[in-house]
Amino acid sequence: MENKLPKVLIIDDDKFLLNMYSIKFSKNGFEVNSASSGEEALGKIKEGYAPDIVLLDIVMPGMDGFEILDNLKKNNLVPNAMIIMLTNQGQLADIEKAKSFGINGYIIKATTIPSEVVEEVERIYNLQKKTEVKQ
Q: Residues in the site for Mg ion, rule: CB under 5 A?
A: 13, 57, 59-60
Long-range contacts of 33-40 (CB under 8 A, 24+ apart): 33/7, 33/8, 33/9, 34/9, 34/10, 35/9, 35/10, 35/11, 36/11, 36/12, 37/11, 37/13, 37/61, 37/62, 37/63, 38/11, 38/62, 38/63, 38/64, 38/65, 38/67, 38/68, 38/71, 39/63
Closer residue to Mg ion (CB): 12 or 52: 12
Which residue lies nearer to Mg ion by CB, 5 or 59? 59
The least distance separating Mg ion from the CB of residue 51, rounded to whole angstroms, comes to 19
Closer to Mg ion by CB, 13 or 94: give it: 13
Beta pairing partners, 11: 35, 56
Shortest distance (Å) from residue 15 CB to Mg ion: 10
Query: Minimum distance from CB of 113 to Mg ion (Å)?
Result: 18
Residue 111 beta carbon to Mg ion: minimum distance, rounded to whole angstroms: 16
* Nearest CB to Mg ion, comparing residues 59 and 127: 59
Q: How far is 90 from 95, CA to CA, in rounded Å?
A: 7
